[in-house]
Amino acid sequence: MKDRIVFITGASSGIGLGCARKFASQGASLILNARNVTVLEDIKKELETKYATRVLLLPFDVRNRDEVAKALTSLSQEWQAVDVLINNAGLVIGLDKEHQGNLDEWDVVIDTNIKGLLTVTRLLVPGMVERGRGHIINIGSIAGDGAYPGGSVYCATKAAVKALSDGLRIDLVDTPLRVTNIKPGMVETNFSVVRFRGDKGAADRFYQGIHALSGDDVAETVYYAASAPEHVQIAEVLLMPTNQATSTLSYRKN
């Protein structure tokens, strides 16, 4: 990963932060995105101190196409040649039934998980094609493999991530670029706090009695895909805790 530039969206927490730490530990230079600049600044300090890695912060909201375009065109020459794009920024709000949920909240989820991912991809991949080098790693989900109760819209966004990953792999088949869809099950991050609209107690109860994956666990899989030999394209990985079998069946010790 030395001399490689890795761009991570949603790098201020959870899986994105795990990826930032893993790729920094392997010598990559990092472009880190999220909306919370203060948190990103602390992470930059941590990574620079611990791994002597180069870190560029690029805060923007992936839902704001103008902001994304402005941020990406502001990249100086030395940061433009992105080798690995990790499209990770994403969220879910609520566990409402499709006929009862809040349309404004669903706009946020759809605009982030689908349109935000697509915007960043659309703006960064042409440069990769021109350079004949690049890897797009999308963070999908087990939720994209099938709907579960209360997950209708979120599951639809992750099914879209699968389709966008497959579609991009088809579009890039005559290039050296690779596309990977990583599909985690339960990962204990800030994700559930956001899902339960800030109720940390409810989020903690969700992970009670099960050894969930951590952001670092998922980062190991992302790194595995990114560091495979150039002719090996890890198209998809489904990973979950040992005591999870499907998106609706987990064994909890209490």
Contacting positions for ligand NDP (CB under 6 A): 9-16, 33-36, 61-63, 88-91, 112, 116, 139, 141, 184, 186-187, 189-191, 194, 215
Phi and psi at residue 253, in whole multiples of 5°?
A: -70, -20
- How many other CB atoms are there within 10 angstroms of residue 152's CB atom? 16
Phi and psi at residue 248, in whole multiples of 5°?
A: -115, -5
Q: How far is the CB of 7 from ligand 8X3 (least distance, A)?
A: 21
Residue 141 lies near ligand 8X3 (rule: CB under 6 A): yes
Is residue 28 within 8 A of residue 105, CB to CB? The reply is no
Three-class SS state of 56: strand
The Cα 32–Cα 59 span in angstroms is 7
Q: Which of 148, 154, 223, 224 is catalytic?
A: 154
Q: Which amino acid is at 251?
A: Y
Taking CB under 6 A as the binding criterion, the range among 14-22, 63-71, 135-143, 161-169 that sits at the site for ligand 8X3 is: 135-143
From 143, 147, 168, 212, residue interacting with ligand 8X3 (rule: CB under 6 A): 143
DSSP per-residue letters across 110-177: HIIIIIIHHHHHHHHHHHHHHHT--EEEEE--GGGGS--TT-HHHHHHHHHHHHHHHHHHHHTTTSS-
The Cα 242–Cα 197 span in angstroms is 27
- The encoded tokens of residue 170 equal 């088809």
Q: Kindly tell me which of 15 and 177 has the beta carbon lying closer to ligand NDP.
A: 15
Q: Kindly tell me which of 90 and 134 has the beta carbon lying closer to ligand 8X3.
A: 90
Q: How far is the CB of 101 from ligand 8X3 (least distance, A)?
A: 15
Three-class SS state of 110: helix
| Contact positions with ligand 8X3 (CB under 6 A) in 163-202 | 185
The verdict on whether 154 is a catalytic residue reads yes
Q: Kindly tell me which of 16 and 134 has the beta carbon lying closer to ligand NDP.
A: 16
Q: How far is CA 187 from the centre of its chain?
A: 12
Binding mask 85-124 for ligand 8X3 (x = CB under 6 A): ----------------------------------------
Please choose which of ligand 8X3, ligand NDP, none residue 63 contacts, taking the beta carbon within 5 to 8 angstroms, the exact cut-off set by kind.
Answer: ligand NDP
| 107 bridge partner residues | none
Q: Kindly tell me which of 16 and 94 has the beta carbon lying closer to ligand NDP.
A: 16
> Which sequence positions are flagged as catalytic?
154
